[in-house]
Amino acid sequence: MKICVLGTGYVGLVSGVSLAAKGHNVVCVDVRPDIVASLNRAQPHIHEAGLPELLGKVIAERRFVATLSLEEGLTGAEAVLIAVGTPSLDGRIDLQYVRRAAEQIGTWLKTAGTPLSVLVKSTVVPGTTDTVVRAILEETSGKKVGEFGLGMNPEFLREGNAVEDFMNPDRIVFGCEDEISQAVLEKLYASWHCDKITVNTRTAEMIKYANNCLLATQISAVNELANLCFEMGDIDVQEVMQGVHLDRRWSPVTEGGRVRPDILSYLIPGCGFGGSCFPKDVQALRTLGRDYGLPMPVLQSVLDINELQPLQVVRLLKSCMDSLDGRKILVLGLAFKPDTDDVRESASLRIIRSLVQEGSEVMAHDPAAILNAKKELGECPVQFVNDWKPVLNGADAVVIATRWNDYGALARPEIAARLDDKPVVDARRMFRPEDFSNAIYLTIGRRPLKD
């Protein structure tokens, strides 16, 4: 079937390319000529594992094309996916791009002679699809739901693993307002063999928010425990969590041995969560609750803890350095997580800004996110380096802020030897204390041992 996708960000592009790889004919629509041209040359503008290869394949098979023309995308399409951005604005999601997309689709529907299902892929708060989007579509088209399909199909893509997550999902949620959209969604995902759940659009929207809010809550809860362990001393929160992870409710014991589920990665202490989903989604659901007269204290606490958590890195450095003023600090990692170039709400950038406020001279490296970090940090004085190893000797301290595999080289004996008596803040628990016998190993939730 022909599918039109509005938006070529992480969600729109990965969805479009993956649907094309499954045999659909996909047209991605964007308003930026440079992005459209780049995509048609099989050069994605975002960093995602496996995306360049898959994009090249579907273009070669003539199953994917990018265009500036909405009419080209919608003509002959059975479904259109709204995958535009929903940025945060004062704790609420900004629906301006969703509204604009709905208006454009509605205008096209007014004279369209073929049926079309409008499927919201963007993350929107519960009640958006069946009120805001529906009202705009019906007003601009002069038609009612039933004459066109309306649904909500939330994404559960982890940046850095987005292609793999789309191609091999753990579940697919069909949010439907009518039988037309349900039939289209079933046809769209017929070749996927996983759990599929059909609900109304409000429930589909809430599933996405509940999923992210609970994961974010785990991260903040562990970080709060880590901070308490630091205050008490003689407790390593990593050892605490190893004991917690062995609870059979987290790690079931089966005949084949103990299962170590991915959920445990959210129960590891660190310097906080970031990215395009968790901060924005927790804020949006908290604000939605307040709009209904519910204070949402748990979600507020999740945000409060996360806001302060990057400062633990600065605190650790201060615990073993008389002053940070004038000290050269090498920050390794700028993206909010490895295998992506996304720096939105990155704890790394908050660490850098705090170090600069302390008077530190900051050097920074990332395998993929330097360009985006430069844009985000603006005039903040940072020396970006393309290779971190040559500047290691000149650094007074090292902060590992993103868990890139490349930084595992720090533990190699010939490199670790260059860290003698220097503080190494492992904010992502990549290493063990014994990996740095000559350095001052510091990490979240573990007070430095005194000589």
List the Cα angle 442/217/316 in 5-degree steps: 15
109 Cβ contact list (under 8 Å, min separation 6): 116, 137, 140, 141, 143, 148
Please say if 194 is a catalytic residue: no
Are 226 and 238 within 8 A, CB to CB?
no
Q: Say how far apart CA 204 and CA 332 lie, in whole Å.
A: 38
Are 355 and 336 within 8 A, CB to CB?
no
Are 16 and 80 within 8 A, CB to CB?
no
Are 341 and 367 within 8 A, CB to CB?
no
Are 64 and 70 within 8 A, CB to CB?
no
Question: E strand or H helix at 361, and its extent?
Answer: strand 361-365
Q: Is 185 exposed, middle or buried (0-12, 13-18, 19+ CB in 10 A)?
A: buried
Q: Say how far apart CA 434 and CA 441 lie, in whole Å.
A: 9
* Paired tokens of 159: 């940046």
HSE, CB side, 13 Å, CA atoms: give it for residue 172: 22
Cα of first residue to Cα of last residue in the chain, in angstroms, is: 68
Q: Say how far apart CA 50 and CA 354 lie, in whole Å.
A: 35
Residue from 213, 277, 320, 380 carrying the catalytic annotation = 277
Are 68 and 102 within 8 A, CB to CB?
no
The contacts found for 172-176 with CB under 8 angstroms, 24 or more apart, are 172/196, 172/197, 173/197, 173/199, 173/204, 173/207, 173/208, 174/198, 174/199, 174/204, 175/120, 175/129, 175/151, 175/199, 175/200, 175/201, 175/202, 175/203, 175/204, 175/205, 176/151, 176/152, 176/200, 176/201
29 Cβ contact list (under 8 Å, min separation 6): 4, 5, 6, 7, 66, 67, 68, 69, 70, 72, 73
Are 267 and 245 within 8 A, CB to CB?
yes
Catalytic residues: 277
